[in-house]
C-alpha cells in the first residue's frame, strides 16, 4: 500500500504546491483533500491511513518542500480523542478550526497535589443550568498563556470514588475567571504555567465523552501522549497562531529563522558529534562504551517500532503496551545522551557557554530530567506495564504503623 500511497502523494504535492499561495488557502486545501492529516478518518478530513502510509506521505511532502499543516496538541491528541469519544457536532466545530485556522490547545490535567496520581484532582465543576462552573487550579500547562482552549479534567461528583465522578471538558481560555501565571524553570525559560479558575464557565456541549466518565477519556489522552508511534505526533508544522494571509514562502522563512539549530536537525545526537569533534581528542574507553550503549538503545527503539508496526498489520498488537515502552525508551536514550555529552566535554561541561554546541547542549542537559517526569514518571510507566500488561501483582501498600523502629542503645 505504501508504494501506491507514495506515488499518489507525490503527484498531488507536485500539482498543488505553490509557495506563493496564501497560508490559509493552503491549510484549507490540505484539509479538504485529506493529505494534511492522512491518518484521520476519511469522513473527517483524512484518508484513514496507517502509520507506514502516513510516513510515506510525509516524506514525499518534505521532498517537495511543501508547508506542513498546523501542528501541536490539537491534531496529535485532541483529534484522535474526538474520534473515539467526541460528538459529530464537536468534530464539526473543532477539527476544521485546528486544521484550517491552526487553533491551539493545551492540557489542563495535573494539579499541585495531583500529578502522577492524576485521579486525585480536586478542581471542581458544578452544573449551573446549561453551563458548568469551574473552580480550582492546574499546573505544568505548556502554552496556557497563548492557546485558544484547554483540555480540562475536573471533579463533578465529590462523593464518588476518585477514579469516578470525573468529567473531561474543553474550556475556552480567554474568558473571565481564568488567570494564567508563568512558571520559570531551571533552564531560565517559562514555558510552563499555573492556571487558576474562579467561576470560569463551560458549555454543557463541551464535555468530551459522558459526564462522570472523564477517567476513560483521560486514559485515552495519556495513551496518546506517551505513544511515540502516534502517527500525528511528529507532524512538524507551525505551532501556534500564524498570519493566514501571508504566503507559504513567507511563513517558511519565518519558521526557519525562529527555530534553533537543534530544532532544524542538529538535535542531541548531532550536538554530541559536534562536541566530540571539539573536545573528544582524549576520548576514554568509558566514553566509547557510553557511545556503544547509546547506539544500542537507538537500535532497540528502531526494532521496537518495527515490531509494533508488524503486530498492527497482523492484528496482534497488545493494547496499552506501546505508550509506556516508548516513553521509557525515550527517557533512557535522553539520559544516555546527557551523560555522554557531559563526559565528552570533560571540565568544559561545567560551563554554560551561550554560543555553539556547548550552549545548546547545556540547555538540553538542564531540560533532560523533564523527559522522565512529564506525561507520567518512569516509575508510573513501569507499574503500568507490570500491573496492566503483564498482570503482575501490585506493590504492597505502605503502612506506616507496621514500621518497627529499632532502639539502638549506646
pLDDT on residue 238: 62
Domain extents for the chain?
A: 2-71+236-249, 105-226, 259-389
Q: Residue 126's beta-bridge partner residues?
A: 133
Cell numbers standing for residue 165: 465522578
Instruction: Return the CATH number of the domain spanning residue range 259-389.
Output: 1.20.140.10
114's enclosing H/E stretch is none
C-alpha distance across the termini of the chain, in Å: 77
Q: Which residues of the chain have pLDDT under 50?
A: 260-266, 410
- Among left, alpha and beta (phi > 0; psi -120 to 50; other), residue 131 is beta
Q: Residue 128's beta-bridge partner residues?
A: 131
From 60, 225, 235, 322, active-site residue: 225
Cell numbers standing for residue 364: 538540553
φ, ψ of residue 160 in degrees (nearest 5): -80, 155
What is the pTM (predicted TM-score) of this model? 0.71
Q: Please, what CATH class does the domain formed by 105-226 belong to? A: mainly beta
Measuring CA to CA, which residue among 155, 150, 149 is closest to residue 139? 150
- Distance between CA atoms of 343 and 219, rounded to whole angstroms? 39
Q: Any idea what the Cα angle at residue 259 is, between residues 256 and 265, rounded to 5°? A: 90
- Distance between CA atoms of 10 and 249, rounded to whole angstroms? 20
Q: Residue 105's beta-bridge partner residues?
A: 149
- Which residue shows C-alpha cell 505551532? 239
Q: Confirm whether 225 is a catalytic residue.
A: yes
CB 325 within 8 A of CB 385: yes
φ, ψ of residue 74 in degrees (nearest 5): -55, -65
Q: How many CB atoms lie within 10 A of CB 330?
A: 16
pLDDT on residue 61: 94
Measuring CA to CA, which residue among 351, 187, 341 is closest to residue 275? 341
Tell me the pLDDT of the chain averaged across its residues: 83
Amino acid at each position: 500500500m505504501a508504494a501506491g500511497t507514495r506515488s499518489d502523494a507525490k503527484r498531488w504535492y507536485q500539482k498543488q504546491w505553490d509557495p506563493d499561495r496564501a497560508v490559509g488557502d493552503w491549510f484549507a486545501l490540505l484539509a479538504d483533500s485529506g493529505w494534511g492529516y492522512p491518518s484521520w478518518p476519511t469522513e473527517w478530513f483524512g484518508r484513514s491511513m496507517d502509520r507506514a502510509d502516513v510516513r510515506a506521505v510525509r516524506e514525499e511532502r518534505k521532498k517537495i518542500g511543501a508547508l506542513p499543516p498546523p501542528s501541536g496538541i490539537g491534531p496529535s491528541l485532541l483529534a484522535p480523542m474526538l474520534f473515539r469519544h467526541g460528538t459529530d457536532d464537536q468534530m464539526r466545530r473543532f477539527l476544521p478550526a485546528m486544521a484550517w485556522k491552526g487553533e491551539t490547545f493545551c492540557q489542563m490535567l495535573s494539579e499541585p497535589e495531583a500529578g502522577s496520581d492524576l485521579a486525585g484532582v480536586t478542581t471542581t465543576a458544578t452544573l449551573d443550568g446549561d453551563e458548568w462552573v469551574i473552580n480550582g487550579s492546574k499546573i505544568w500547562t505548556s502554552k496556557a498563556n497563548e492557546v485558544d482552549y484547554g483540555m480540562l479534567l475536573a471533579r463533578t461528583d465529590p462523593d464518588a470514588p476518585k477514579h469516578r465522578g470525573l468529567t473531561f471538558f474543553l474550556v475556552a481560555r480567554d474568558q473571565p475567571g481564568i488567570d494564567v501565571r508563568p512558571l520559570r524553570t531551571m533552564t531560565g525559560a517559562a514555558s510552563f504555567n499555573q492556571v487558576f479558575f474562579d467561576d470560569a464557565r463551560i458549555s454543557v456541549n463541551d464535555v468530551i465523552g459522558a459526564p462522570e466518565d472523564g477517567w476513560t477519556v483521560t486514559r485515552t489522552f495519556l495513551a496518546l501522549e506517551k505513544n511515540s508511534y502516534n502517527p500525528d505526533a511528529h507532524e512538524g508544522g507551525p505551532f501556534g497562531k500564524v498570519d493566514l494571509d501571508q504566503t507559504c514562502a513567507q511563513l517558511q522563512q519565518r519558521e526557519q529563522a525562529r527555530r534553533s539549530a537543534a530544532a532544524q536537525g542538529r538535535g542531541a545526537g548531532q550536538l554530541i558529534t559536534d562536541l566530540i569533534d571539539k573536545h573528544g581528542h582524549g576520548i576514554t574507553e568509558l566514553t566509547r562504551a557510553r557511545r556503544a550503549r547509546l547506539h544500542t538503545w537507538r537500535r532497540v527503539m528502531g526494532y521496537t517500532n518495527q515490531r509494533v508496526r508488524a503486530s498492527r498489520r497482523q492484528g496482534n498488537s497488545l493494547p496499552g503496551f506501546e505508550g509506556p515502552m516508548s516513553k521509557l525508551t525515550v527517557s533512557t536514550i535522553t539520559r544516555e545522551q546527557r551523560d555522554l555529552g557531559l563526559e565528552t566535554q570533560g571540565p568544559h561541561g561545567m560551563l554554560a557557554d551561550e554560543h555553539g554546541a556547548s550552549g545548546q547542549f547545556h540547555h538540553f542537559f538542564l531540560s533532560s530530567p523533564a523527559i522522565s517526569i512529564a506525561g507520567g514518571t518512569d516509575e508510573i510507566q513501569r507499574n503500568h506495564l507490570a500491573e496492566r500488561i503483564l498482570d503482575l501483582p501490585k506493590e504492597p501498600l505502605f503502612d506506616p504503623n507496621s514500621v518497627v523502629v529499632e532502639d539502638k542503645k549506646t
